[in-house]
Copies of this chain bind each other. A is one copy, B any other.
Amino acid sequence: MSHMIKAGLVGVTGYTGMELARLMVHHSSMELVRVTSRAEAGKRLADIYPFLHRLPLGELVITRPDPADLAEECDVVFLAVPHKTAMEIAATLLEQGVKVVDLSADFRLNDKSVYEHWYATEHTRAGLLPEAVYGLPELYLDQIMGARLIANPGCYPTSAILGLAPALKAGIVETGDIVIDAKSGASGAGRGAKVGTLFCEVADSFRAYGLPNHRHTPEIEQEISKIAGTGITVSFNTHLLPIDRGILSTIYTRLKGSTSIEEVHDIFTEFYSDKPLVRVLPKGLLPETRHVRGTVFCDIGLVVDQRTNRLVILSAIDNLCRGASGQALMNANLVCGLDIDEGLPMAPMMP
């Protein structure tokens, strides 16, 4: 293992950091050599994550984030810190020659002003936006392989964009009538201590939240507009599921003509024929979040409602894995010249 790629992780204590640690346990060509946290520095990883007890990764000592040290020790660094914090660290690391996969929103939006509008803060590193590559490998494989800064997509956008891409590319749906009804597990709300995400506030209940202005809206619109070749405004609406992991986006579109389910299914299957991490399900089958739990698969089901001439697209991912750290690892693999799925679990946790 003399040629293991060395990776760093800034921000290990949240759910995305925890997920990346989980995934790295099985990676045979990349290893975590640095994990940082201001609050937990000095502890071993197994001290804060007992599930790593008796595993080599559990012995890794958490350090305070130090760009110089990260740059010296790592080939690639994952940023699992809040937006705004990430942009500064990314810039510093890039200056020192390290490749960066940023899991925050800081480099996802091409337009500085759009970012500043939706995130209500100044973008102080907008100079890096042109070179940041949106890390959705099914759309930007080649660019990712040559990039040094990856803007890892948001969880909801990943499910929405992968679900809509084939239909928009083929031009079979109206671009002015798209509704995305998205539902996410509670890990998407983060690991901060808040009353609203206590067990007793989430379990055995269901609610919408964040309507009508979820911050993932412009990210979705940016990417699907590029695919369609025209500016698209979507109605994007989010709900909180009483599950740990998983996003299901039910996407409502209107067919332009009278496209049959067979034709639609062919379009999607063809679009993803050489992209095995997106699974277009057989006709009649609908995705379930558990079928992708713990994996980077995106499962897509298709329904044509002839009564209303709508195409309903159902897109399921694991919000922590494909929607965050798993996709980050896909991107890091690509950036480092490895196979896209190296180290990634292909079998979901069932049941």
Residues of B with C-beta under 8 A to A141: none
Residues of B with C-beta under 8 A to A194: 193, 198
Cβ–Cβ contact B242 & A243, under 8 A = yes
Residue A329 interfacial (CB < 8 Å): no
Q: How far is the CB of A137 from chain B (nearest CB, A)?
A: 16
Residue A72 interfacial (CB < 8 Å): no
Residues facing B in A238-289 (CB within 8 A) are 239, 241-246, 248, 250, 252, 276, 279, 281-282, 285-289
How many copies of the chain does the oligomer comprise? 4
Residues of B with C-beta under 8 A to A204: 203-204, 243-244, 290, 293, 351
Cβ–Cβ contact A198 & B198, under 8 A = yes
Residue A177 interfacial (CB < 8 Å): yes
Q: How far is the CB of A203 from chain B (nearest CB, A)?
A: 6
In the bound assembly, the distance between CA atoms of A351 and B237 in angstroms comes to 25
Cβ–Cβ contact B203 & A199, under 8 A = yes
Cβ–Cβ contact B351 & A201, under 8 A = yes
Given contacts A212-B303, A245-B351, A248-B208, contact A198 B197 (CB under 8 A): yes
Q: How far is the CB of A231 from chain B (nearest CB, A)?
A: 12
In the bound assembly, the distance between CA atoms of A179 and B188 in angstroms comes to 26
**Per-residue 0/1 for A190-202: is the Cβ within 8 Å of any B Cβ (1 yes, 0 no)?**
0111110111111
Cβ–Cβ contact A294 & B349, under 8 A = yes
Query: A210 — nearest CB in chain B belongs to which residue?
Result: B286
In the bound assembly, the distance between CA atoms of A107 and B57 in angstroms comes to 38
Residues of B with C-beta under 8 A to A187: 200, 351
Cβ–Cβ contact B252 & A252, under 8 A = yes
Cβ–Cβ contact B244 & A351, under 8 A = yes
Residues of B with C-beta under 8 A to A53: 279, 281-282, 299
Interface size class of A (residues with CB under 8 A): 35 or more
**Per-residue 0/1 for A304-325: is the Cβ within 8 Å of any B Cβ (1 yes, 0 no)?**
1111101010101000000000
Q: How far is the CB of A247 from chain B (nearest CB, A)?
A: 9
Query: A181 — nearest CB in chain B belongs to which residue?
Result: B181
Residues of B with C-beta under 8 A to A306: 212
In the bound assembly, the distance between CA atoms of A205 and B183 in angstroms comes to 11
Cβ–Cβ contact B248 & A206, under 8 A = yes
Residue A65 interfacial (CB < 8 Å): no
Residues of B with C-beta under 8 A to A114: none
In the bound assembly, the distance between CA atoms of A121 and B279 in angstroms comes to 37
Cβ–Cβ contact A199 & B212, under 8 A = no
Partner-contacting stretch, out of A1-9, A15-23, A82-90, A154-162: A15-23
Residues facing B in A135-183 (CB within 8 A) are 177, 179, 181, 183
Cβ–Cβ contact A243 & B206, under 8 A = yes
In the bound assembly, the distance between CA atoms of A287 and B303 in angstroms comes to 28
Residue A211 interfacial (CB < 8 Å): yes
In the bound assembly, the distance between CA atoms of A22 and B177 in angstroms comes to 40
Closest 5 CB pairs of A and B: A205-B290, A212-B305, A25-B347, A207-B288, A200-B351
